[in-house]
Each structure stands twice: as structure tokens, then as C-alpha cells.
Amino acid sequence: MAQSLTHEVLILGAGLAGLRAAVELSHRTEGHIDIGIVSKVQLMRAHSVCAEGGTAAVLREDEGDSIALHAWDSVKGSDFLADQDVVWRFCKAMPREIQLLDHWGIPWTRDAQGRISQRPFGGHSYPRATLAADKTGFFEMQTLYDQLLRYQCFKRYDELFITDIVVEEGRFVALVGIHAPSGETVILQAKALLIASGGGGTLYGFTTYSETVTGDGMAMAYRAGLPLEDMEFLQFHPTGLVPSGILMTEGCRGEGGYLKNNKGERFMERYAAGKMELGPRDMVSRAEMTELLEGRGFPGPDGKDYLHLDLTHLGAEVINTRLPLIREVCIKFVDIDPIEKPIPIRPVAHYSMGGIETDINGLTRVKNVWAAGEAACVSLHGANRLGSNSTGECLVWGGITGREIARALPSLPKPARLSEQSWLAQQARLKAIAGRQGQEDLYVLRRELRTLMDNDVGVFRKGEDLAKALAGIRAIRDRAAHAPIADRSATYNSNLFHALELDNLLDLAEVTVMGALAREESRGAHARRDFAVRDDEKWLKHTLAWHVPGSHPKLDYKPVTIDTWKPVERKY
């Protein structure tokens, strides 16, 4: 076998959730723990650094905000598919997470009185998006890693591309991966695993995601026997920069930015007059697509017609102090200064509401495997996530899973050795991928998959388009078996990694589209033209997708936890 290394705990993914869990584990054990932190990129290049606008928390109860109001906003925003016990736990935990980061030295933006500043965000009834200018995720990551450095109890595995999560006899055994700089195969064993590897938004071509975010952890967990939950709910953010897809933070609208069509109208008045630009993301994205489809957009490149995000009335001081990154990105990428001209935007693939099924503590159906952050579905967001709840989820369930793993470790058995059968199966799969022959091109296939998802599984969906997409995904999978790996080098073989990522994306695409085709209703981010209304009688339930080796996924369902608010019509 290859080089085999053992830790007490492995954390797959080094973004906000992974780092927060590592800090919690280190704190609770006073540094007397052996943690391995695994990242496919350099550790501080995790996609969490791209989070911009804020992190939601109730900090102003004396001024009209409340935990109950945050919980209600999140449940209503989820189109009543969120598990309400999870929402309550999140909203109660968030103020402490903000205070911890403050204590650890994060440079929160301050108001004139010196208090931590908060801005309005879509779907929230109160300005509770806590901000560090428009680089909130970047500063949260820096702060957590700085805190982690106080403890000398972890080892970094940077640029280690994990190919398999191995579960044997209902128990996690090992991660198997390829060390990109050397090409060596590495086996990592541990008593416990936390999967915190992020979402799968690069299923789409027009996306806010870093190109490295390919849903690897979700796909590997799925193939290892863990169900994926609610994968049909993929969020489209209303403001992706055209033509790149780079995120124009919701903070732009939180600071007072306008959305305008080619007639100069603030068109949200027709769709959510009570909230205008600060409606929930699913509603604003549908409104934008309606404007574009009805011809009230501006002609854009490659069919990407766009609308305007207008910040010009905010003035230079607000933009330079509250949205400096947005100005920098617009000038660098589209040669537009938002102080002077509006920004070209359209809805863009942004966030996976679904993920690896967990319980309220982040524990999966495998008793020594937890999941947290965007890779997980603890069912906080339901059918539609409110902006600024995602970074908060990473912090809260990073902390929860860190605590739960620390509690469980004394009773967990010692790390098991990877069986020869699992090792041979893993090596046979890699050998088969490396030995592919034919005339197909991996890079063409990935572009085709992403174009297919853009065109047929977008903001608006129809059964016939979803069926066509499903057939297309399966055809691309068949063609991928005839796409050779041209690069034979050992070091930094991105050609091989690209093939493995494509396999992961195809698994997630099939699950996403199957769930969307089966769900014959419109709820949150899943908007069916042929089933235009929400159907609580038939579809107030979570989708579970199970991997069936050699066959198509198996869909199952489970109930939504409703302990406070019954579903009502969703108006803003």
C-alpha cells in the first residue's frame, strides 16, 4: 500500500466550517489532540474567503430585533422547508459566534458609536448582517486561522486531492488521496471524520464559485453510502457580474443599491413592493429572469442579457468605505467604476441548500462521520437560504461538530486499518480512469455539462427540460468513459484531477436533476413552470438520494420538522 498516516480526527476541507471545528476541538482538548486538516488547495485559498456581505446575528434586541424574528425570517425565507428546531438552534447560537470572533480580533466594521456594524440583507426584517466591509469571509478565515495557530496540535495537508472516503462495516476508515506536488498516494486514517468540503456550484457555467469547488466531499460521501438531502434546491444569487459571474454582494443592495431594467425602472416594485431590492434571493432572481425573458434587459455577451445594479446615487464615500472590493472588482474585470456607472448583473448559481444528510448535531448515518457547512444539509436553509445565514451556519456547526467530536472521541474505537479489498477497489477505479481510451475531450465534456445545467436547470424549470437534462447528463457520463488522460506526469496532474472532478460533478448533477424532476411543485429556489404553486400536501418533505452501484440514484423522502410555525402563503 501507499504511505499511511494516522490522526485522531480528520477534517476534510479548510474553509470556515473546517477551521471553526478545528479551533473548537483544540480549545476543548486544550491542544491535546491530533488533527489532520486536508485541503485540495493551499489552506487559506478555501472558497470561504470569497464570502463578502456579512454574517447574520441578532445583536440589537434592545432596538427591536429578536431571536424569534431571525428564526421567523429564516423559516419564511426557506419557503417552510427548513427544520424549525435547527433554525432556532442557529439563531440562538449566532450572537456568541460574532462575539467570539470579535474577541479573537476580527476587524468588524464599526458604526459612529463604535458598535459592531450591521446592514440590511434580503428577506431579513432587521439589519442584522454583521460586516467587515465587503470582505467578511476573508476576515473570518484569517481570524480563525490566527486563533488555530495558538494550538500546535494540527497538521496541514495542502494540495492533497482526496479521491475516496472509505467506509467499511458502517464505520469511517480512511481518506485516500493524491498529493499533487509529488503524485504520491496517501492514506489518512482516523477515529473520526468531519466533512467540510463546501458546495457544488461549478455544476453551472455561470457561477460565483471558485473553479476548485466541485462538490468532491458530497459526491464521495454519496458513493460511500451516505444519502444526499434536498439537492434540487440550488440557489441563484440575483447579482452575478456579467460576463464572469463574480459575486456582487447583497451588501450592495443592503447599502441602498437599486436594480433597474432597460427602461430605468426599479422593477422590484412589481414583484415584492414591501421589500423591493431586499426581497429573498429566490424571488429577486425570478423577478430578474422575468424582466430578461420579457425583453426589458440589455443585450449581453454569449446570450447573457443583463440588468443594472445601480450604486451611483450612494456616492464615493459609501462605496469606498463599505463596498471597496466591489469597486475594485468592477474596475478590474469590466472596466466600470460603480461610483460613476451601473454594474451589469444577472442571476448566477451561488449556493447548495442541499448536501450530506446530518442530524441537528451534524452527525451523519455513519457514527464516526460528521459534516458541516455547505457540504452538509442539517436543513437550516430549506428551499431557499437567506443571505448572510451561510457563513453563520459554518461558524455554528463548525463549533457544534467540533464539540460533538471532542465528546465522542473517548468512546470511539481506535482507527481501523484500510482493508486490502477497499484499497484494491480504489486503485482499480483510478487505473480505469487513467487508462481510458477514445476521442472524447474531458474539458469539452465539462463545458457541455455546465452549459446543460445553465440552460435546462436554471431559475425557471420545466419537466421536459429536466428530462432532457437528465438524459444529457447520463450521455456525458457514458462519453467520459472514452475521454483519455493525456497527461502522464506524476506531479500536479490537473488532467487527472479534472477527470475525477467531472465524475463528482456528474454524480451531483444526476441527483440534482432527478430530485427536481420528481418534485412537482414550485418552492423556494425550485421554480417549475409546469407546477407553478407550492404543494404542501404532497411535497412538504425532504428529498433523500441514495447511491445504487451500477444503477441510477434511489429517491426517498422524510418529513420536515415543524414545531413553531405552520406554512402560510409567502408574501413580501
The answer on pLDDT for 1 being more than 70 is no
Q: What is the mean pLDDT of residues 169-186?
A: 95
CA distance 327 to 451: 29
Strands (E), 369-513: 369-371, 376-377, 460-461
pLDDT in tens, 505-531: 999 999 999 999 999 999 999 999 999
Per the structure block, which three cell numbers stand in for 63?
432596538
Residue 161, C-beta contacts closer than 8 angstroms, at least 6 positions apart = 40, 177, 178, 179, 180, 497, 500
Give the residue numbers annotated as catalytic, written as ranges. Answer: 237, 253
Q: What is the mean pLDDT of residues 318-337?
A: 96
pLDDT in tens, 268-313: 999 999 999 999 999 999 999 999 999 999 999 988 999 999 999 9
> What band does 2 get if pLDDT is binned at 50, 70 and 90?
confident
- 44 or 73, which is more confident? 73
Share of the chain above pLDDT 90, in %: 95
The answer on pLDDT for 88 being more than 80 is yes
**Closest residue by Cα to residue 187 from 68, 10, 45, 63:** 10
> What band does 74 get if pLDDT is binned at 50, 70 and 90?
very high
Mean pLDDT of the residues in the chain: 96
Per the structure block, which three cell numbers stand in for 23?
479551533
Per the structure block, which three cell numbers stand in for 131?
460586516
pTM of the model: 0.96
Class of domain 239-348: alpha beta
The answer on pLDDT for 319 being more than 70 is yes
CA distance 483 to 258: 46
* Check whether domain 420-531 has CATH 1.20.58.100, yes or no: yes
Please answer whether residues 242 and 304 qualify as being in contact, where contact means their C-beta atoms are separated by less than 8 angstroms: yes
pLDDT on residue 551? 93
pLDDT in tens, 98-157: 999 999 999 999 999 999 999 999 999 999 999 999 899 999 999 999 999 999 899 999
Per the structure block, which three cell numbers stand in for 187?
492514506
CA distance 216 to 201: 11
- 1 or 62, which is more confident? 62
Q: What is the DSSP secondary structure assignment for residue 342, as one 8-state letter?
A: P
**CA-CA-CA-CA torsion sign (394, 77, 463, 517):** positive
pLDDT on residue 167? 97
pLDDT on residue 43? 84
pLDDT on residue 161? 97
Please answer whether residues 275 and 122 qualify as being in contact, where contact means their C-beta atoms are separated by less than 8 angstroms: yes
Is 465 strand, coil or helix?
helix
pLDDT on residue 433? 94
Domain ranges of the chain: 239-348, 420-531
Of all residues in the chain, what percent are helix, strand and coil, respectively (each to 5)?
A: 40, 20, 40
Share of the chain above pLDDT 70, in %: 100
The answer on pLDDT for 39 being more than 90 is yes
pLDDT on residue 44? 87
The answer on pLDDT for 51 being more than 90 is no
